[in-house]
Amino acid sequence: MKADTQFWRDLKANRQKMTKQQYRTIKGQAVKGNIDAARKGMLRIKQRRQYQ
């Protein structure tokens, strides 16, 4: 449960650095319970944008 909270904080912190569609996709995956895929997607976006 603690990892989930950390993920939501990271997602919120990186919101401005994502497009609206990227944010909505990652958030949708997490809401549906697929936190691992959402975390992987957010990591890929970070790497592509190189703002890590």
- pLDDT tens-place string over residues 34-52: 999 999 999 999 898 875 5
Residue 30 burial by CB count (10 A; 0-12/13-18/19+): exposed, middle or buried? buried
Is the CB of residue 6 less than 8 Å from the CB of residue 38? Answer: no
Is the CB of residue 30 less than 8 Å from the CB of residue 7? Answer: yes
pLDDT at position 3, please?
Answer: 76
pLDDT at position 4, please?
Answer: 87
pTM: 0.83
Task: Kindly state the tokens that stand for 28.
Answer: 């949708």
Among positive and negative, which fits the CA dihedral 21, 50, 10, 4?
A: positive
pLDDT at position 24, please?
Answer: 97
Average pLDDT in the chain: 90
pLDDT at position 2, please?
Answer: 74
pLDDT at position 1, please?
Answer: 64
